[in-house]
Amino acid sequence: MRVGVIDYGVGNLGSVIRALEELSVKPVLVTRAVDLHTVDSLILPGVGNFADCAKLLNDSGWVEPLRQEVHVASKPLLGICLGMQLLATTSMEGIADNASNGVVGLNFIPGRVENLRTLGCNLRIPHVGWNAVTSHTKVGGLFDGIPDGTDFYFVHSYVFVPDSPDHVLATTMYEVPVTAAVRSGHIWGTQFHPEKSSRAGFRLLRNFIENPTC
């Protein structure tokens, strides 16, 4: 299994690569969109501002090759943190006018990205730290072997709100319900950082690598 880590100019690449190496997987750093076809599955990291990252993906020519590999070739994809949010249709992060329809994302999983404040959260933002995650699937999948209530490490101010609740794979509570993971077929995303979430995070990455379409 050749796991490609997408390097489009941002992202917590070092820790993702080290986590994969700990799992005895030799990650492939994909620095050019034309090389996406050379790997078996893809990880899309992301840190920073949605608008900036979306612009980098567009300006560097990643969007259409990603669509070809994920939608046409059915290549498994895991988005991490902002990488998960980029799977959405639009985001309200990075826009000057809140009346705008938002910044356009990849639209791999229909939905919008909203600020925690907009969702009614009055706790400190950004949300940084360990939170218990509850999976909405009981057998197999990305959370196979991971008990409900296991803590994962979060760093974020915005939240992915899928159009369909069927795409919500797991949730956490930060005063308000927060989407912790999403899924649509062979496309997955985690708001938390599995590569920084100790043993449970490594188990989740192994689940994705070993059975990414389960």
Report strand pairing: 111-115 vs 158-162. antiparallel
Instruction: Tell me whether residue 193 is one of the annotated catalytic residues.
Output: yes
210 is catalytic: no
Q: In sequence order, what DSSP letters do the residues of the chain get, joined into one string?
A: --EEEE-SS-S-HHHHHHHHHHTT---EEE-SGGGGGGSSEEEE---S-HHHHHHHHHHTT-HHHHHIIIIIS---EEEETHHHHTTSSEE-TT-S-TTS--EE---SS-EEEEETTTTT--S-SSEEEEEEEEES--SSSTTTT--TTEEEEEEESEEEEESSGGGEEEEEEESEEEEEEEEETTEEEESS-GGGSHHHHHHHHHHHHH-TT-
For residues 158 and 67, what is the distance between their CA atoms, to the nearest angstrom? Answer: 24
* Set 81, 121, 156, 167: catalytic member: 81
**Known active-site residue 81:** yes
Cα–Cα dist 74/63, whole Å: 15
Residue positions annotated with a catalytic role: 81, 193, 195
